[in-house]
Amino acid sequence: MSSTWSSQRSIQLLLLLFTFLSVTSFVAASTPTSFCKCTCFSNSTIIPLNPAKSESSSGIDHVLRFYEDDSLSSEIEHTDEYIKRAQKYRSLSCNDCNRKFCLDYELPTCKGAKEEDVYTTCFQRDSRKDEAVVFIFIFATGGLLAWAACKPWIERYVEAARERRSYIPVAEPDR
């Protein structure tokens, strides 16, 4: 009985190890996405610095705009211009996120702006690796809490099972 339990336990451990190794290969392959936030006057535009090259969607889909004023009339009218500008830039890093980059990108929000009017910030969105670490931590913590909550009942069940196994009725002698 114990050999069956130990073989099941070793299979479970091997399965857990295989799952962990397969997840780590996916997590290690992902990189965080960098963005450059260009603020001209009171308007901000967020530009992805390293967009995926395999995507076929237009570059304008990746440009996120946040305006401090609530005007909806400032929709982008020159989509083709944005696509051309996005294609001419190589994959950039946070070192490239500067005032000159924002002015050279020819954003409509920066029209007529001088270098003194432009403020830049570079940031990264969390990578899949960060997400995996957080999820593993949450699942591990949840599992430990569930084990702590269920442990008294499991111990009582195991103890009762041991007592049942150790009790072997003695046959009455033939008279």
Q: Do the beta carbons of residue 87 and residue 105 sit within 8 Å?
A: no
Buried b (16+ CB within 10 A) or exposed e, 131-161: ebeeeeeeeeeeeeeeeeeeeeeeeeeeeee
Region 97-104: what's the mean pLDDT? Answer: 90
Residue 34 has phi, psi (to 5 degrees) of -100, 145
Residue pointed to by tokens 């809490």: 145
- Of residues 113, 48, 54, the one with CA closest to residue 82: 48
Cα R_g (the chain), whole angstroms: 30
What is the average per-residue pLDDT within 100-124? 89
pTM more than 0.75? no
Going by pLDDT thresholds of 50, 70 and 90, the confidence category of residue 88 is: low
127's CB contacts (< 8 A; 6+ apart) are 30, 31, 32
Q: What is the mean pLDDT of residues 139-164?
A: 92
Q: Using 50, 70 and 90 to split pLDDT, how confident is the model at 139?
A: very high
pLDDT band at 55 (very low <50, low <70, confident <90, very high): very low
